[in-house]
């Protein structure tokens, strides 16, 4: 599966470490198409679990799935002035089809606000048809210059929610609700804590009224924008004539939202939890939760140990009748590979638990359970293995979130910082800096120019500092907002 060479340590070169982990744990591979990646089964297994969980959460909040065309007439992009500015430069353009030049070029969707709202306009007549709550699982293409596996690829997989409402406030509530769903998912499943907040005008989605985002801190102290949710106002409704007849009989434009998360989250998972031995996958997203590695010398011992492993896998795989409580177990029965080499491989792949099982263990009715996160080993009785494994997995899920949270807070600056000190910090170890902002886009642009740090968001209340900063980090004028500054992916 993987060669035995040590990974480049994170401290030496975080970026090299990331690529090595992704490639050697076989999450993904480079493809022959520039900027496009192949998601291999180990990576797709994590994405599938993300999808399944998010899909359940979207349905629980009243959304239905649908599917809209991959190809969008170029003219659609031009109907919303900011939207075309943001997306036209990244477009992949289809000019020929079926051997002929097309009358109008088609672009591969970079996002689907235009085509979806053009359909909504056809479906919505009356306020009774609203709200319209739709989600789509799809691939999108944005022509990127510098690409990185999972983090920024020309094609990526995502979901995009698109909704239409009768009022601004209802759209705002929806945009905020889905941001909350994203946060719950990222913290509850990826064990990746996020700061939620509003984007500045310079950073908002092209065509949105307001953009909210989830910002996570990676182990190199850079921010990863892990999901966004937009209140689109009536911008797309006006562009695509999405109107409804109100209860009072007047004709009104609808209010839209859109929101999305992508395969980028897999990269976030790697950079949040990986260590110098490889990947560490949070149990809830692990395609395999526990691998059993049999230890033996003779054929007799092999038969004995594999027989026991099989019984354990069968009984724990169904130890509770509910599907959701079944453990996902794999027995590594490969021959000609030493146990140590197997340990190394499964650690590289980040499988949460390893059960080492040898003849002496069996004689004592026990096994040795090893946690991937702490690498702590302990003997466990086979009598109570089901509960023990389930408890350990729950503890790991909690501990991984807590560890990521501690790391983030240890690398966040909330006390007053001078601009010089801020520049030095951004040149060096980086991190999250909470500081005042005067609200002037010129200060925001100057800081970006000078330090490469950007305002990741204007954090929601619960993330703001106990004492609000009073002056702008850059110009010293009175602060209108507290801003979260960081360098970002």
Q: For a copy of itself, what does the binding mask look like between residues 119 and 158, x meaning CB under 8 A? A: x--xx----------x---xx-x-xxx--------xx-x-
Helix/strand/coil (H/E/C) assignment for every residue in 196-254: EEECCCCCCCCCCCEEEEEEEECCCCCEEEEEEEEEEECHHHHHHCCEEECCCCCEEEC
SS3 state of residue 49 = helix
> Could you write out the DSSP letters of every residue in 126-145?
BGGG--EEEEEEEEEE---S
- CA dist 317 and 309 (Å) reads 12
Give the one residue of 321, 428, 461, 462 binding a copy of itself; rule: CB under 8 A: 321
Closest by CA to 185, choosing from 282, 54, 44, 60, is 54
Provide, rounded to whole angstroms, the least separation between the CB of residue 31 and a copy of itself. Answer: 5
The reply on whether position 256 binds a copy of itself by CB under 8 A is no
Segment near a copy of itself (CB under 8 A); pick from 90-98, 266-274, 364-372, 435-443:
90-98
CA distances from 179 to 25, 111, 194, 231 (A): 31, 18, 11, 11
Q: How many residues bind a copy of itself (CB under 8 A)?
A: 59
The reply on whether position 401 binds a copy of itself by CB under 8 A is no
The reply on whether position 348 binds a copy of itself by CB under 8 A is no
Provide, rounded to whole angstroms, the least separation between the CB of residue 234 and a copy of itself. Answer: 21
Segment near a copy of itself (CB under 8 A); pick from 71-79, 269-277, 371-379, 434-442:
71-79
- Residue owning tokens 């800096």: 433
Contact predicate 37/150, CB 8 Å: yes
Residues pairing with 101 in the sheet: 96
The reply on whether position 62 binds a copy of itself by CB under 8 A is no
Give the one residue of 11, 13, 56, 67 binding a copy of itself; rule: CB under 8 A: 67
- CA dist 161 and 260 (Å) reads 6
Provide, rounded to whole angstroms, the least separation between the CB of residue 142 and a copy of itself. Answer: 9
Nearer to a copy of itself, 9 or 97 (CB): 97
The reply on whether position 15 binds a copy of itself by CB under 8 A is no
- Residue owning tokens 């009022």: 167
Nearer to a copy of itself, 346 or 419 (CB): 346
Give the one residue of 93, 364, 402, 468 binding a copy of itself; rule: CB under 8 A: 93
Nearer to a copy of itself, 76 or 485 (CB): 76
Nearer to a copy of itself, 78 or 176 (CB): 78
Residues pairing with 379 in the sheet: 368
User: Degrees (nearest 5) of the Cα angle 253, 255, 257?
Assistant: 150
The reply on whether position 284 binds a copy of itself by CB under 8 A is no
Closest by CA to 91, choosing from 144, 39, 134, 161, is 144
Give the one residue of 23, 40, 476, 489 binding a copy of itself; rule: CB under 8 A: 40
- The residue ranges of DSSP E strands in 332-443, in sequence order, are 353-357, 366-371, 377-381, 412-413, 432-437
The reply on whether position 249 binds a copy of itself by CB under 8 A is no
- CA dist 355 and 370 (Å) reads 6
Residue environment code for 58-75, b if the CB has 16+ CB neighbours within 10 A, otherwise e: beeeebeeeebebebbbe
The reply on whether position 346 binds a copy of itself by CB under 8 A is no
Segment near a copy of itself (CB under 8 A); pick from 14-22, 30-38, 391-399, 444-452:
30-38
The reply on whether position 331 binds a copy of itself by CB under 8 A is no
Residues that bind a copy of itself (CB under 8 A): 29, 31-33, 36-41, 44-45, 47-48, 64-73, 76, 88-99, 105-106, 108, 115, 118-119, 122-123, 134, 138-139, 141, 143-145, 154-155, 157, 321-324
């Amino acid at each position: 599966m993987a060669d035995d060479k040590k990974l480049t340590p994170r401290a030496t070169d975080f970026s090299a470490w990331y690529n090595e982990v992704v490639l050697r744990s076989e999450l993904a591979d480079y493809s022959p198409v520039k900027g496009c990646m192949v998601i291999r089964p180990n990576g797709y297994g994590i994405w599938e679990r993300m999808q399944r969980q998010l899909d359940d959460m979207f349905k629980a909040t009243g959304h239905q799935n649908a599917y809209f065309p991959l190809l969008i007439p170029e003219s659609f992009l031009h109907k919303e002035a900011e939207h075309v500015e943001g997306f036209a430069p990244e477009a992949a353009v289809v000019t020929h089809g079926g051997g002929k030049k097309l009358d109008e070029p088609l672009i591969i969707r970079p996002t689907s606000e235009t085509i979806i709202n053009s359909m909504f306009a056809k479906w919505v007549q009356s306020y009774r048809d609203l709200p319209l709550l739709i989600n789509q699982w799809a691939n999108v293409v944005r022509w990127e210059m510098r690409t990185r596996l999972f983090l920024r690829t020309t094609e990526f997989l995502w979901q995009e929610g698109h909704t239409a409402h009768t009022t601004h406030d209802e759209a705002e509530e929806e945009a905020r609700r889905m941001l909350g769903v994203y946060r719950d998912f990222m913290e509850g499943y990826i064990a990746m804590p996020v700061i939620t907040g509003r984007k500045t005008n310079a950073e908002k989605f092209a065509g949105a009224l307001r953009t909210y985002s989830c910002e996570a801190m990676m182990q190199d102290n850079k921010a990863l924008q892990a999901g966004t949710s937009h209140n689109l106002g009536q911008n797309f409704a006006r562009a695509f004539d999405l109107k409804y007849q109100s209860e009072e009989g007047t004709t009104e434009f609808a209010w839209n939202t859109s929101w999305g998360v992508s395969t980028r989250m897999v990269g976030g998972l790697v950079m949040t939890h990986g260590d110098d031995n490889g990947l560490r996958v949070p149990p809830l997203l692990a395609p395999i939760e526990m691998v059993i590695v049999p230890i033996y010398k003779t054929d007799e011992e092999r038969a004995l140990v594999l027989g026991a492993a099989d019984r354990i896998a069968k009984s724990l795989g169904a130890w509770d009748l509910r599907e959701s409580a079944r453990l996902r177990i794999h027995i590594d029965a490969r021959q000609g590979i030493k146990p140590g080499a197997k340990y190394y491989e499964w650690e590289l792949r980040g499988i949460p638990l390893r059960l080492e099982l040898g003849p002496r263990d069996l004689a004592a009715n026990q096994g040795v359970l090893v946690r991937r996160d702490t690498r702590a080993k302990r003997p466990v009785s086979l009598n109570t293995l089901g509960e023990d494994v389930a408890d350990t997995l729950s503890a790991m899920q909690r501990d991984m979130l807590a560890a990521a949270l501690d790391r983030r807070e240890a690398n966040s600056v909330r006390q007053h910082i001078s601009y010089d000190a801020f520049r030095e910090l951004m040149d060096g170890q980086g991190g999250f800096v909470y500081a005042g902002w005067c609200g002037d886009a010129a200060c925001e642009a100057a800081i970006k120019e000078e330090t490469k740090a950007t305002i990741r968001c204007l954090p929601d209340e619960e993330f703001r500092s106990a004492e609000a900063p009073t002056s702008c980090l850059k110009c010293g004028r009175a602060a209108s907002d507290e801003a979260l500054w960081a360098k970002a992916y």
